[in-house]
Amino acid sequence: MSDSIELAPALRAAQMPLAQIPVIDVSALYGGPGEDEMVAQIGKACREIGFFYAINHGVPEALIAEVYAEARRFFALPEAEKERVAIEQSACHRGWFRVGGENLDPAKQAKGDLKEGYKVGRDLAPTHERVVAGVPLHGPNQWPDFLPGWQDVMQAYYDEMVALGRRMIGAFALALGMEENFFEPWLGITMTTLGPLHYPPQSGHITEAQIGAGAHTDYGCLTLLQQDAAGGLQVQRRDGVWVDAPPIPGAYVVNIGDMMERWTNGVFQSNPHRVINISGGERYSLPFFFDPDFYAPVECLPTCLQPGEAPKYAPTTAGAHLLEKIYASFEYKQAEV
């Protein structure tokens, strides 16, 4: 950290030995030995901190590098170019949002997060029955077709990540004591989203009033994140202590979101996390949000209710749950309500 940066005490992560967040070899997602061990490790991580690093995940390094390159290429454009695919123009929450456009901690931050991003979702044609029916969050992507090749790279990575997410959620089902294919019926048209992010550098006296990504829990089911070498991701443990989640080259940071917490009645908890880019340079990350079908029920799973225990959350659906969260955190949606 350079001496022109001063973090408010509330933003300092505890200096702890490494291994706060477990590193799990997930090669058994593709079959072969080690599945029981992997499932046990995933279950333990989700019960204890809600985060783990996944290594040997099978996503080609070269593809990840291309996605970073395309993300940088887009974010480096002049604002007027980016406006051509602004999220405000999309009926289904796709495209570019400016710095401050998302506010993950509205209770503390007046101006929104110090990051810009781009939402790529499932690319459904305007003639698709759900789009015709006006189902929220369903529809075509906005593509910056003035950047040749951009769409192909993003779509290839998106497809790869949907496949990885499907495998991963099978392991989660096993970790919850259910059949591997338990979630399958809820994965019809997954509401999966790739959301590349760009964090400008931050310096000076930094407080919780504005950081890269304000403290939040993720909304959905699973998040699979690539972060570059800049660092700055922090995770809050269940005891309230903030710890660093430093980059491990090539590894995914996997964490669970509020929907998984609801399904599991809090057995798997979605832990708060935040980003403060004090690297002195730009920071890029590639979160991928794996969420189920709009109509998937979100209510306590049968294996997650102990005798005598009551569900902590009212039943809802994946679509209703996500819409509520998105409306609460995106500035352009505030104007609509």
Residue with Cβ nearer ligand OGA (67 or 300): 67
| Residue 215 binding ligand OGA, by CB under 6 A | no
Residue 223 CB, nearest approach to Ni ion (Å): 6
Residue 253 CB, nearest approach to ligand OGA (Å): 7
Residue 218 CB, nearest approach to Ni ion (Å): 4
Q: What share of the chain is helix, strand, coil (3-state, %, to 5)?
A: 30, 20, 50
Pick from 21, 28, 154, 275: which binds ligand OGA (CB under 6 A)? Answer: 275
Residue 273 CB, nearest approach to Ni ion (Å): 6
- Start-end of H helices in the chain: 35-48, 61-75, 79-82, 129-132, 150-175, 258-263, 318-329, 331-334
| Residue 225 binding ligand OGA, by CB under 6 A | yes
| Residue 218 binding ligand OGA, by CB under 6 A | yes
**Region class of 117: left (phi > 0), else alpha (psi between -120 and 50), else beta:** beta
DSSP 17-59: -S-SS-EEE-GGGGSSTTHHHHHHHHHHHHHHTSEEEEES---
Sequence-separated (6 or more) residues with CB below 8 Å from residue 121: 92, 93, 94, 137, 141, 191, 192, 193, 194
Contact letters (x/-) for ligand OGA, 169-208, by CB under 6 A? ----------------------------x-----------
Q: Read off the amino acid at residue 291.
A: D
Residue with Cβ nearer Ni ion (39 or 318): 318
Give the binding range for ligand OGA (CB under 6 A) out of 13-21, 28-36, 178-186, 225-233: 225-233
Residue number of the CB closest to ligand OGA reads: 285
Sequence-separated (6 or more) residues with CB below 8 Å from residue 22: 41, 44, 45, 49, 52, 53
Residue with Cβ nearer Ni ion (218 or 261): 218
Sequence-separated (6 or more) residues with CB below 8 Å from residue 7: 1, 206, 276, 278
Pick from 21, 211, 215, 233: which binds ligand OGA (CB under 6 A)? Answer: 233
Residue with Cβ nearer ligand OGA (29 or 230): 230
Q: Read off the amino acid at residue 249.
A: P
Picking from 149, 287, 134, the residue whose alpha carbon sits closest to that of residue 223 is 287
Residue 216 CB, nearest approach to ligand OGA (Å): 7
Residue number of the CB closest to Ni ion reads: 218
How far lies 179's CA from each of 31, 37, 50, in Å?
A: 16, 16, 21
DSSP 124-143: --TTSHHHHTT-TT-BPPP-
Residue 128 CB, nearest approach to ligand OGA (Å): 27
Where in 281-300 is the site for ligand OGA (CB under 6 A)?
285, 287
Where in 196-255 is the site for Ni ion (CB under 5 A)?
218
Residues that bind Ni ion (CB under 5 A): 218
List residues binding ligand OGA (CB under 6 A).
197, 213, 218, 225, 227, 233, 273, 275, 285, 287
